[in-house]
Amino acid sequence: MDKLKGIWFSMLRQARHVLMAFFKPNGLQSFVPRMHKTTIAHFAQFWEGKDEIMAGNSIKHLTFSIAIDLFMSIKEGPDFYCLLHHMKPYLSGVLQLPLNFPGTLYRKAIISREIMLGTLDKVICCRRKVRNLVFLSLKFLNKI
């Protein structure tokens, strides 16, 4: 039991260090230009030249765009829209009674979660492959 407790506390310590680096003033200051760029692009796409604006959906889209850009560096594209599409059923069912029956909001949330995790896994695997290719090419060039 003490071994599990030690593992748990070491994981918490690592997470705390990552979050503290992320929320330092210097770290936050580096994110402001990215958030500003995303906001300006969103307003240009969804607000400018429109007679009527659905502000609720637009603000949800903007908030999701900023979060997914800051945390995963995913720009608008197929992966972004897949995550956005499955976020609504996930958020609807995550606080429901945990009844895992077909048709319940909880079951839909589980399915949406699995699809979102698959999409994120695909993005991470693609980035690892690119990073490994760059590393191998640099290693090759250093030997020449």
Cα of 68 vs its chain's centroid, Å? 4
DSSP state of 75: P
Q: 72, 96, 114: which is the final residue of a domain?
A: 72
**What are the tens digits of pLDDT across the range 27-62?**
778 888 989 999 999 999 888 888 888 888 889 999
* 123: containing domain: 77-144
pTM of the model: 0.72
Q: How many domains does the chain have?
A: 2
Q: Across residues 111-132, what is the average pLDDT?
A: 91
Q: Across residues 85-97, what is the average pLDDT?
A: 90
> Does residue 86 sit in the same domain as residue 140?
yes
Q: 47, 72, 97: which is the final residue of a domain?
A: 72
> Does residue 95 sit in the same domain as residue 37?
no
In angstroms, the Cα distances linking 129 to 24, 57, 79, 125, 134 are 30, 35, 17, 6, 9
